[in-house]
Amino acid sequence: MEVGELRLEIGGLDRDDVRALLAEHLVEMRATSPAESVHALPLEALRAEDITLWTARAGDVLVGCGALKDLGDGHVEIKSMRTAVAARGRGVGRRLLRHLLEEARRRGGTRVSLETGTQDHFAAARRLYERHGFVPVAPFGSYVLDPSSAFYSREL
């Protein structure tokens, strides 16, 4: 799949393709991480008032999604970053991440944090975050130390 211009839109949780992508995300997280270390949000949790989800489309094709959760005091968490399997390796994650960072800044955020896995499966995600200025940190918010979780943060 060629991914050229991306159209980023807020919402879409009622669209079948978005629901399918998020379901795929949960299945993959459960298959690659111990149950107690799966922090991916189910669809209904993404409807919370403190969370905003964006979808990325190449034409009419859904190629990814990502969300911001307001943790308060200028601290924002990235949640549900996902690139569709057919679009991986084509810059979708990079463009989504840049958009989320810009949006966090626009909303008055001063710090952005995230949790991802420590397993080899998550190596590309960790490299993406590190290339964008994220550094390893201690658990934040309600997270606890977990050998299957890597915590990252960066200032805006």
pLDDT in tens, 46-56: 999 999 999 99
- Mean pLDDT, the chain, integer: 93
In this prediction, residues 85-106 reach a mean pLDDT of 94
pLDDT band, very low/low/confident/very high, at 4 (cuts 50, 70, 90): low
CATH fold label, 7-155 = Aminopeptidase (3.40.630)
Of 36-45, 71-80, 87-96, the one with minimum mean pLDDT is 36-45
In this prediction, residues 102-119 reach a mean pLDDT of 97
- Which residues are registered as beta bridge partners of 8? 56
Query: Using one digit for the tens of pLDDT, what is the confidence trace for 10-24?
Result: 999 999 999 999 999
In this prediction, residues 132-136 reach a mean pLDDT of 98
Separation CA 38–CA 36 (nearest Å): 6
Q: What is the pLDDT of residue 94?
A: 95
pLDDT band, very low/low/confident/very high, at 29 (cuts 50, 70, 90): confident
Could you tell me if residue 81 is left (phi over 0), alpha (psi between -120 and 50 degrees) or otherwise beta?
beta
Q: What is the pLDDT of residue 2?
A: 46
The domains of the chain are located at: 7-155
